[in-house]
Chains A and B, each alone.
Chain A
Amino acid sequence: MRKLALPHDVLMSVDKPARYLGNELNSVHKDLKPGMVRYVMCFPDVYDVGMCHLGLPIIYEMLNRREDIWCERLYSPWPDLDRIMRERHIPLFALESQDPVRDFDFLGITLQYEMCYTNILQVLDLAGIPLLAKDRGEDDPIVIGGGPCTYNPEPVADFFDMFYIGEAETNMYDVVDEYKAARAKGLGRREYLRRAASIPGIYVPSLYDVTYGEDGTIASFTPNCPEAPAKVKRVVEMNLTGSYYPEKPIVPFMRIIQDRVTLEIMRGCIRGCRFCQAGSVYKPQREKDLDWLMDLARRMLDETGQEEICLSSLSSSDYSQIEPLIRGLIDECNRRMVNISLPSLRIDEFSLEVMKLLTDVRSSSVTFAPEAGTQRLRDVINKGLTEEDILDGALAAFKAGWNKVKFYFMLGQPTETREDLLGLVDLCEKVAMKYYDEIPKEERQGRIQINASSSFFVPKPFTPFQWATMLHKDEYLERAYIVKDSFKNTRNSRALHYQYNDADITILEGIFARGDRRIAPAILAAYKKGQIYDAWSEYFNYDLWMETFAECGIDVDFYNVRARSLDEILPWDFIDTGVSKSFLRREWEKALRGEVSPNCREKCAGCGARVYGGGVCLEG
């Protein structure tokens, strides 16, 4: 039997000890051999959340295919265990081997959302790794970050030795091989990092110097050694069919948030929603081959015994083979008594037909994400969904027996006015009226139920809205109140429900999303005050954050509500995502004029992602 890192009494006193065992079916256990590179991949949130993520298993699969690498997993200890580990000086350990993280060669941390930033420090601290990259020595692991937040890694740059910008499939082996070569030559940490900096996609923050002008904006951002490129190019895997994929996904023992196998059908998106970072930084849209996907689905279900399979993509309806794929999966899954989950499907005749086969119409709902309440604002954000689309879709759903509708909106988008806020309510009401006007009384399945929810918009790097200004907390809330009040005064107020997400997190997300290196001391200071698990409302502490920013001399308004000029050097400008800054600027200007842009299939808008030479750019 393996030796567990946590003694019996600790496992018996923490909630859900299964989080820390690392012995799940299909987890990879290897015999340690001399020279083996030890890699631990961390999702800096609790196991229940982290285990639902697809990116990490792809890297796990890729690295473990090589005999000279052992890649293990790591999730943030829940606060109950965190406390015990500090009290008893138990070092943080990787799940599979249960060995201390500090003994590893690499600690990879995926940055999926900004609110996990204090958890990065928790992981480093519990592992006994110096929190600042500059304080690390030869015996410390190389700390490497990846994931969507690396499209502006600057607020956490001080904590990382390097970032991998782009998709792991392309150059992850090079990162390890360069390390092995450096080690064989007896080269130290600094030499390795310099060499790694010349691998495409690798950003080593310590090799760049930043200066600031009197107005606080960036005056210069320059490499300080020849190996570091002035622009770090995002690396993209162009052949996703047949590429690394977790064919034997790990099967958790305990219940996690989404316990199912995930089938990624494509990457990227043809739509050009101007608020959407994923739509921009994962361009171009690249589809996986239908037969490969069907084969993968069968193998994953065989290897896991899971009861549900979920399609994953930014906009599944845009997958060109979506109909044969879903029909094929329905055949396969019916035989196996497996459920199919189809998020991000546009409501139309086809999707309603399959949803009717897959779900209980009476208890499920149809979902629309118009994001904005009026056509004018939807044009600004370039959301290609019209009121007519929504009303037609809703009517078709009502006729098919549905009477529950969900709406997702964002408040606080550029140019938003009171009309747009009221328009949102109006749209929901029109849908409700559609139900009563068009569905005869005897065919109605009870009262209509409309659940609208809104979050506040946070501008993200590499989107046309990266120049947008945010609002103050009270202004966000005011807008939500306008909507809430208006909902109360509708004719169908009993059928319409509205809720909005908290504005506190929005402010934090804003500063982290578009912050620069000067934010890091505040993250460190908040952590030192005991702040972790900011993504969890029970642990998030807005006042503590605001107090900490003030103490660190950080002006939140500078990052959130200041109007940025178009020629300002943005903290993330050193990254080349393929999508050009001039395209983003054009789109920003079009947005302000309320002009829409075509999607990639309608007409190439010349975003620049064509340089990758594939996907939708070369279709047809």
Chain B
Amino acid sequence: MKVRFRFSKEGETCYLGHLDMMRFFQKAIRRAHIDIAYSQGFNPHQILSFASPLGLGMTSQGEYFDAELKSCGSGRELLEAINGAMTEGIRVLGVRRIPDEGKYNAMATLTACSYAVSFDESFAAEYDLCGMWQRFISRDSIPVTKKTKTQTVETDLRPLILDSGFSSGRLRLLLAAGSVESVKAVAVLSAFFESSGIPLSGEQAFKTGTVRIERLDQFTGDKDKLISLGEVGEEI
């Protein structure tokens, strides 16, 4: 049976990379004595797949991985077992059984991610960020040039920002994600700062701590009826 785990990543665990998290859960699953399935061959590995990698330095309330289990008790028992093997900052928030077919794979079905961006106090005091954002987001198109190794591509960010809003000093973003079209939160911030005359790139602001980014959740489905990856499937 295929089980989807939703977990949060808070505090200093934001400095752990995607591969570190995979290794962490592989070991945690062993410590929790969860009856996971292994691949065949001389180096069997747990059948596990993670959703979209989280950028280094970001916290999250909505990370996911799918695991192939041979058996498990109730959802509550599974949750208790895995949380007994966690460390400070990492918590499993929910488990659900998802259909076995490959097309429900967390990574493959991903279409959007939501983020909360918070700003350093002195930075927020310096600019009218809320007003600037309103002007930015009311534009019909936000052309940006993306440089790859071989070429420069012009893309429009506007359709990739599915929803946004300012509340209590935090900017909430719903951005297209997954294999078809996607945009990173820092790229949106870069475009926002540039069009607002703020002399900072999103990357710089993020690395220096001027902005903090938390992923809130990841979604699947069409953009007009998004479903949280954590709501797919059924309770165990």
A: residues with CB less than 8 A from B are 1-2, 4, 7-9, 11-13, 17-18, 21, 23-25, 251, 253-255, 259, 301-307, 336-337, 339, 359-360, 363
Contacts and interface: CB of A to CB of B under 8 A. Distances in A.
Contacts of B44: 337
Given A8-B209, A253-B16, A360-B42, 18 more contacts: A4-B12, A7-B209, A12-B57, A12-B206, A12-B209, A13-B207, A18-B15, A23-B88, A24-B87, A25-B27, A253-B23, A254-B16, A255-B20, A302-B31, A305-B85, A306-B30, A307-B27, A363-B42
A23 B13 CA distance: 9
5 contacts: A9-B207, A23-B13, A251-B27, A255-B19, A360-B43
A2 B12 CA distance: 9
A7 B12 CA distance: 11
Interface residues of B, number: 30
Contacts of A301: 30
B56 interface: yes
Interface in B29-46: 29-31, 38, 42-44
State the 4 A-B residue pairs at the shortest beta-carbon distance, nearest first. A305-B27, A305-B30, A305-B31, A8-B209
B24 interface: yes
B50 to A, nearest CB: 15
B159 interface: no
Contacts of B15: 11, 17-18, 21
B26 interface: yes
B144 interface: no
Contacts of A24: 87
Nearest to B11: A1
Contact of B208 (A9, A17, A255): A9
B79 interface: no
Interface of B: 11-13, 15-17, 19-20, 23-24, 26-31, 38, 42-44, 56-57, 85, 87-89, 206-209
Given A2-B12, A8-B57, A305-B29, A23 B89 contact: yes
A307 B26 contact: yes
Nearest to A1: B11
A9 B23 CA distance: 25
A306 B209 contact: no
A304 B27 contact: yes
A254 B30 contact: no
Contacts of A253: 16, 20, 23-24
A612 to B, nearest CB: 39
A12 B20 contact: no
A360 B41 CA distance: 9
Contacts of A304: 27, 31
Most B CB within 10 A of own CB, among A8, A9, A254:
A8
B26 to A, nearest CB: 7
